[in-house]
């Protein structure tokens, strides 16, 4: 994996390049980012860049033996550690084949996607005692063929108290050993581990970066990519999931719902509910995500000086912005919070396999009451 294949994160990329090029690499780095920010991709690209025999213009060459093996996630000097399920003796090596497939398919995956891929269902993933002892053993061995041996640990939050077993390794690793920890929740990591690592913050991706990433990686049309970027809210993994869903006119469906609920015709609301129910759970979740996104932007439109801004800074497409401006005379500030809570509740129950027809018909009735209570 090379830096130029990773969406955005120019500041983090430049910092990592400088560390490697100056030969001043801290022995323990922690990349801290939000889900879908590309933090894991950055760690893997950095590992390849460090081992590359022929770097050029801030990129790994992609052709040397180290690069070829690193790109396939099979380099003998790059070790991976990640949460797993299945018992006290299960380690990352148990699932290394599945891990390589998952990275090849989507290096932006989140913890839930990974654990469900392992068949976790309701089981909790962790990085256990046996895994920690195996890490210590692996990094005590000689380097096979590169300049460094590297550990990429994804989500050290899952270590819990077992992280204490790695403190000595993190503080005083063997010669030419590099530890790359990729974290997303700093509060769940032992302070003793945090204090031994140099922190590299991986920021949220902008809408423009996600849009360009979707265009370059999936070949999407600019308007569709922009619409998805608005919904993804800085999470490229979420953007990829949205792009893979069947295309639906969430904006048209949502505005039609608001109109029918405002009028309050029971037959029309029931017909709309039937229409949404056939879309399936994932599309319904995506619809509700769009509804909450629209409401957030609508709230901003209501609270800023609309005449002065003319909608600038509002993350809606032109036709959506036009609809939002027309709604300002129908949905007041007192109603916004109640509607947002209603949408959030619907998303919660959809996740728990509620009956879609009953859920959305009830939501339609509640939405009509909210409109009438203005």
Tell me: the pLDDT tens digits for 70-89? 999 999 999 999 998 877 88
User: What is the pLDDT at residue 169?
Assistant: 92
User: What is the pLDDT at residue 68?
Assistant: 93
Q: Give the whole-angstrom CA distance, residue 161 versus residue 158.
A: 9
* CB distance 1 to 45 below 8 Å: yes
User: What is the pLDDT at residue 100?
Assistant: 94
Give the pairing type, strands 177-183 and 149-154.
parallel
User: What is the pLDDT at residue 247?
Assistant: 60
* Closest among 132, 185, 201, 175 to 25, alpha carbons compared: 175
Please give the structure tokens belonging to residue 58.
């801030």
Q: Give the whole-angstrom CA distance, residue 132 versus residue 161.
A: 11
Alpha helices in the chain (DSSP H): 10-21, 39-51, 65-71, 96-105, 111-117, 129-140, 167-171, 191-194, 207-218, 222-232, 236-244, 250-263, 266-277, 281-303, 306-309, 318-327, 333-351, 356-372
Q: Give the whole-angstrom CA distance, residue 283 versus residue 248.
A: 8
Tell me: the pLDDT tens digits for 109-138? 888 888 888 886 667 888 999 999 999 999
Give the pairing type, strands 28-33 and 78-81.
unpaired
pLDDT at 304 over 70: no
pLDDT at 308 over 50: no
- Residue 177 dihedral angles phi and psi, to the nearest 5°: -115, 135
Mean pLDDT within 30-56 = 92
* Closest among 235, 161, 185 to 30, alpha carbons compared: 185
Cβ contacts of residue 114 below 8 Å, gap of 6+? 82, 83, 102, 125
């Amino acid at each position: 994996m090379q830096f130029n294949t990773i969406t955005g994160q120019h500041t983090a990329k430049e910092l990592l390049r400088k560390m490697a090029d100056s030969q001043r690499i801290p022995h323990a780095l922690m990349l801290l980012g939000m889900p879908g920010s590309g933090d894991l991709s950055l760690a893997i690209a950095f590992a390849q860049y460090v081992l590359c025999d022929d770097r050029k213009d801030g990129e790994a060459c992609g052709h040397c033996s180290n690069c070829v093996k690193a790109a396939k996630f099979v380099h003998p000097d790059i070790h991976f550690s990640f949460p797993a399920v299945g018992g006290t003796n299960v380690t990352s090596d148990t699932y290394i084949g599945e891990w390589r497939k998952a990275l090849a398919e989507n290096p932006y995956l989140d913890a839930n996607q990974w654990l469900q891929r392992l068949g976790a269902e309701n089981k909790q993933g962790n990085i256990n005692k046996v895994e920690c002892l195996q890490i210590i053993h692996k990094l005590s061995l000689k380097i096979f063929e590169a300049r460094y041996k590297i550990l990429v640990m994804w989500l050290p939050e899952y270590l819990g108290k077992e992280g204490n077993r790695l403190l000595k390794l993190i503080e005083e690793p063997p010669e030419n050993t590099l530890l790359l920890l990729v974290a997303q929740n700093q509060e769940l990591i032992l302070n003793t581990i945090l204090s031994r690592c140099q922190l590299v913050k991986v920021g949220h991706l902008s809408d423009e970066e996600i849009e360009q990433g979707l265009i370059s990686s999936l070949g999407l049309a600019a308007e569709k990519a922009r619409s998805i970027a608005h919904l993804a809210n800085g999470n490229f993994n979420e953007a990829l999931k949205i792009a893979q869903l069947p295309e639906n006119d969430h904006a048209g469906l949502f505005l039609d719902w608001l109109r029918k609920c405002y009028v309050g015709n029971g037959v029309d609301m029931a017909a709309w509910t039937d229409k949404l129910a056939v879309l399936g759970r994932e599309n319904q979740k995506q619809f509700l995500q769009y509804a909450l996104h629209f409401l957030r932007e609508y709230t901003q439109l209501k609270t800023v000086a609309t005449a002065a801004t003319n909608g600038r800074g509002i993350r809606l497409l032109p036709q959506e912005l036009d609809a939002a401006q027309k709604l300002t005379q129908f949905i007041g500030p007192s109603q916004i919070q109640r509607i947002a809570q209603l949408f959030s509740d619907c998303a919660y129950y959809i996740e728990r396999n509620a009956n879609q027809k009953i859920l959305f018909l009830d939501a339609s009735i509640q939405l009509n009451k909210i409109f009438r209570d203005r």
